[in-house]
Amino acid sequence: MKLASSKSVAADVNIRQRPTLAGRSSREALFWIAPAALVILFIFGYSVVSVLIQSFRYDGDWVGFENFAIVITDPLFLTALKHNGLLLLAVPVLIVLAFTLAITLFETRAGMRFYRSAIFLPYVLPIPVVAVVFGQIYQLHGALNIFLKSIGLDSLAKDWLGDPQIALGTMSSVIIWKEVGFGVILMLAHIISLPNETYEAARIDGAGFWRTHLSITRPAILNTIIFYGVIEAITMVSWVFNYVYVMSNGLGGPGNATMVSELYIYRSAFQNKAPELAAAAAVFLFIATLVLMIAFFRIQRRSIAGTFNR
Amino acid sequence: MRRKSGVQRSKIETTFRYLLLSFVAFTALVPAYIMFSGSFKSQGEFLNSPFGLPNSLNFGGYQSAWTDNFPHWLTNSFLIVIGAVVLTEILAALAAWGFARFPFKGRETILGIMVSLMVVPPVVLLIPLFQLGVELTLISTLRLVILIYVGLMLPFSIYMLTNFFKSIPESILESASIDGASSWRTFRSIVLPLSGAPLATLAVVNLLWAWNELLLALVFLQNNEKKTLMVGITGFQSRYSLDIPTVMAGMSIATLPLVIAYLFGQRFFIAGLTAGSTKGE
């Protein structure tokens, strides 16, 4: 139709490059962007400003930094922060696992699609479901211990979620189980898109599996690896609520073994009815994530600039 | 051809690769198997042999789950997901067109900041939004939850669509504006028809997120009749702690729509979830 008939015109339009009218252009942009911007401003802008204001008040009065002082000296909040910190240790594990699986899948022809689907499936499952099912598997008389005993490893059978020494580790194993598939998919997609010549030299040199991938694949997909690492670091700091809430029945137990900052904020606000303290804790968490946000911003900015200049 | 390396890979290495993949695939699939097979077992059978196949297909668990509040929860989940995904799709497409088509000062920075909003922990937004919800008596309404979900999904959605709209060849768009089409008409009759795949991908990613969201739904939907499936099953677990097959049946019901979507739309899942990562230059 119209599209086809005007194709020929398009060619010389490109040469002439119509001048852009900056003023009119930004007014038009505003018209398109405004509806979404209003929603985003309401959800993010309003909330962040309110939470900031509230963190300095108590019962309607201005109390300066008092809420912050109470929260930062609360051993429970410090424990929660420490646990978020410990969960960050799962990030390098995730990176190594995902990279290993991605290059293994890359080298595999027969059955590659099946393995890829299987490995990616956990990432699609709802966290509450995953947490409930693993809650059963990790019971003292649950599936994992039955399995360990059946292969003669009785000594490894533990009270996975009941022992405060290991409960957080158990929790992180569930997170790793669910998140690793995402990394595999990200890295595999990037490896497949690399140009054929990438592996030419290695092939001629006769380099082995690990040498090839550590010295060629790893640097070639480094930005994807970093991206994945940042995403997972964000997950460990600000998205673990669902796992913890479901697996510990909302308590962060046993004891406080799986208390994390999100749960601390949730409980301060809705169970202890202390929204001001929750707000102060939320501000601390927000500041902690700012560091991650800046890292994320820098990565994305580079690719955004690439988008607009291509 | 790339994978047919000149080096003769030893048989041992190949075997080892398949062993590793099989082990990981097994680990990835076994919890889903335990859940699904467990939903047909009796309590004793589940506790004694979690790995075995059920002796007989026992639908009691599904019956109990279904006569509980599952129909309500399922309906709420569907309504919220559809409402939020459709609204997000519309708003994001409009905004992304604005970003992609009209250069203005600070465009990259604004987009960059917006993308970074994906990182803000939802728990930070929770308290003020909840207080506002109480004031406006919007707690336990689907409307408020839909609005919050839209807000949370927009940053990524706009980012992804902007990337796509930017990749539409300039010549196609220029020819339309020479023909005198308004930017609205160009958008409607040229850009949108070209965007089927990215819009579908985005819908799948957002659907996955909204279906699985727990924290906000937990706080904002307190009335049992208004809960989503994820909130429902979270409480369901403790009420049926002595009847694991019913719990597993409930979990299977909650998972099934997703697994079906995954099996049919796997390529959209993969495309969508890799879209956020930086592409190699």
ipTM of the complex: 0.85
- Across the interface, whether the CB atoms of B179 and A203 are under 8 A apart is answered no
DSSP secondary structure string for all residues of B36-89: HHHTTS-HHHHHH-TTSPPSS--THHHHHHHHTTHHHHHHHHHHHHHHHHHHHH
Of A36, A100, A207, the CB nearest to B158: A36
The average pLDDT across A61-73 equals 92
CB-CB contact of A171 with A83 (8 Å): no
- pTM higher than the cut 0.90: no
Let me know if residue B227 belongs to a domain: yes
Of A108, A128, A182, the CB nearest to B21: A108
* CA pseudo-torsion sign B108, B109, B111, B115: positive
Q: What domain count does chain B have?
A: 1
How far apart, in whole angstroms, are the C-alpha atoms of residue A262 and residue A277?
13
In terms of residue numbers, what domain contains A250? 73-309
Q: In chain B, which residues have their Cβ closer than 8 Å to the Cβ of A238?
A: 119-123
Residue B104, pLDDT above cutoff 90: no
pLDDT digits (tens, 9 = 90+) for B153-178: 999 899 889 988 988 888 887 777 77
Q: So what's the pLDDT on residue B36?
A: 92
Which among A80, A92, A89 has a CA at the least distance from the CA of A251? A80
Residue B191 lies in a domain: yes
Q: Cβ of B254 and A126 within 8 Å?
A: yes
pLDDT-derived band of residue A269, with 50, 70 and 90 as boundaries? very high
Across the interface, of A47, A242, A292, the residue whose CB is closest to B214 is A242
Our count of domains for chain A comes to: 1
The mean-pLDDT minimum among A3-12, A55-64, A262-271, B226-235 falls in A3-12
Taking an 8 Å cut-off on Cβ atoms, the answer to whether A209 and B176 are in contact is: no
pLDDT confidence of residue B6: 44
| Residues written for chain B | 281
The nearest CA of chain A is from the CA of B280 a distance in Å of 7
Q: Average per-residue pLDDT in chain B?
A: 86
Residue A261 domain-assigned?
A: yes
Domain contains B10: no
In this prediction, residue A282 has a pLDDT band, given cuts at 50, 70 and 90, of very high
pLDDT at A211: 83
pLDDT value for B276: 60
Mean pLDDT of B100-106: 85
B273 and A185 within 8 Å at the Cβ level: the answer is yes
- Give domain status of residue A27, yes or no: no
Q: CB-CB: which of A10, A37, A266 is closest to B171?
A: A10
What is the domain extent for residue B123? 68-275
Kindly report the backbone phi and psi dihedral angles of residue A57, in degrees, each rounded to the nearest multiple of 5, phi listed first. -125, 160
For residue A303, is it within any domain? yes
State whether A194 and B247 contact (CB < 8 Å). no
Q: Is residue A4 part of a domain?
A: no
For residue A58, the cross-strand partners are A61
Enumerate the residues of chain A whose CB falls inside 8 A of the CB of residue B49: 146
Q: pLDDT tens digit string along B214-256?
A: 999 999 998 888 999 999 988 887 788 778 899 999 999 999 8
| Inter-chain touch A6–B123, beta carbons under 8 Å | no
Would residue A33 count as lying in a domain?
A: no
Q: Is residue B218 part of a domain?
A: yes
Q: Does residue A71 surpass a pLDDT of 90?
A: yes
Cβ-based contacts of B98 with chain A (< 8 Å): 28-33
What's the rounded mean pLDDT across residues B101-107?
85
